[in-house]
Amino acid sequence: MACHLKGLAGKVALVTGSTSGIGLSIVNHLADLRCNVILNGFGETKHIEDVQTNLKRQNIKVNFFEDDLSTVQGNLTLCDNIYRIYPTGVDILVNNAGFQHVSPVETFPTAKWEQMIGIMLTSPFLLVQKFLPEMKRKEWGRIINISSVHGLVASPYKAAYVSTKHGVHGLTKVVALETAETGITCNAICPGFVDTPIYQKQVESRSQTDGCSYDEALVAKFVEFLCSEAASQITGSCLTMDGGWTAR
């Protein structure tokens, strides 16, 4: 752990969708490792203020932006805001923002489809596009896309979610190829059913081999590993942590 603390201390990390669930767990863990953290998301003002107060106790820089990542302009505004504070951009980009909507294809709302594509596929593309040049200049960067087992397999009634996760796997591999031998890595983590508000209703009857529910802190520790020197040769990978669900 001491090696990781030394290696990541002072790095600037942006985690989207980080006011709750997996994203908040990742932010908290990176703060423990002395990264300066940038939060993005929505929620009650008091809750977000409390989150920032707790993070600042680590004697790190903490910023929060609530830009709407379902729109192109929201992503560009977020990047502009970050570059004003950090002229060299971010060192660690964790694309985590997302949500679920369940509906048969024939009745799936077009507006909901566009919103989900915007947040979970277009936003990762735009953020990588905007921060990659500075990562290349620094010859170091970690891009981690929080995907899902639904990037590997499908479930009925989840057309938009499954489509975005499959798409982000393709993006992950392309970015990895384009950044090979630059000191930058790009990977996707594919959790099963993590114990977050999004999944609580879906995991009640799941068993270990059905992608059992587990604590979101495990995903945060996986992010730490992918940021470490030990993972410097892991890139373009879509890594499962699903309790064996996709091994069937």
Q: Give me the active site residues, please.
A: 161
Asked if residue 188 lies in contact with residue 220, where contact means CB atoms within 8 angstroms, the answer is no
Helix, strand, or coil (residue 242): coil
How many C-beta atoms lie closer than 10 Å to residue 61's C-beta? 15
How many C-beta atoms lie closer than 10 Å to residue 145's C-beta? 25
φ/ψ of residue 245, rounded to 5: -60, -45
Asked if residue 36 lies in contact with residue 10, where contact means CB atoms within 8 angstroms, the answer is yes
Helix, strand, or coil (residue 37): strand
CA dihedral 100, 148, 27, 15 (to 10 degrees): -70
Please tell me the chain's helix, strand, coil percentages from 3-state DSSP, rounded to the nearest 5. 50, 15, 35
- Say how far apart CA 20 and CA 43 lie, in whole Å: 8
Read off the tokens for 183. 């000191």
CA distances to 45, 128, 140 from 133, rounded to whole Å, are 33, 9, 11
